[in-house]
Amino acid sequence: MGSRFLVVHNKDGVDWVRLAEIFEKAPFAKRDPPDIQRAFENSYVSCFAYDDATLVGAARATSDGVYYATVFDVVVAVEYQGMGVGRALMGALLENLPFDKIFLTAPPDKQGFYRRFGFYKHNNAMGRYASPEQAFEYGVLSRWEHVASRYFWWSKPSYEPRPGKK
Ligand SMILES: CC(C)(COP(=O)(O)OP(=O)(O)OC[C@H]1O[C@@H](n2cnc3c(N)ncnc32)[C@H](O)[C@@H]1OP(=O)(O)O)[C@@H](O)C(=O)NCCC(=O)NCCS
6-122 folds as: Aminopeptidase (3.40.630)
Burial class from Cβ neighbours inside 10 Å (0-12, 13-18, 19+) for residue 160 reads: exposed
How much is the average pLDDT of 72-97?
Answer: 98
Q: What is the pLDDT of residues 124-146, one digit of tens each?
A: 999 999 999 999 999 999 987 66
Quick check: 21 and 57 in contact, CB under 8 A?
no
**From ligand 1's centre to the CA of 117, what distance in Å?**
11
How much is the average pLDDT of 12-40?
Answer: 97
Q: Report the share of the chain in percent with pLDDT over 70.
A: 86
Q: What is the DSSP string of the chain?
A: ---SSEEE---TT--HHHHHHHHHHTTS----HHHHHHHHHTSSEEEEEEETTEEEEEEEEEE-SSSEEEEEEEEE-GGGTTTTHHHHHHHHHHHT---SEEE----GGGHHHHHTTT----TT-----SS-HHHHHHTSS--HHHHIIIIIHHHS--SSPPTT--
Residues with CB under 6 A from ligand 1: 26, 28, 74-76, 81-87, 106, 109-110, 112-113, 116
Q: What is the pLDDT of residues 40-79, one digit of tens each?
A: 999 999 999 999 999 999 999 999 999 999 999 999 999 9
Q: What pTM was estimated for this model as a whole?
A: 0.89
Task: Please state, in angstroms and rounded to a whole number, the distance separating the CA atoms of residues 14 and 35.
Answer: 14
Q: Considering only CA atoms, which of 94, 32, 30 is closest in space to residue 59?
A: 94
The preferred substitution site among 51, 70, 81, 115 for testing ligand 1, maximizing ligand atoms within 8 Å of CB, is 81
Q: Locate CATH 3.40.630.30 in the chain.
A: 6-122
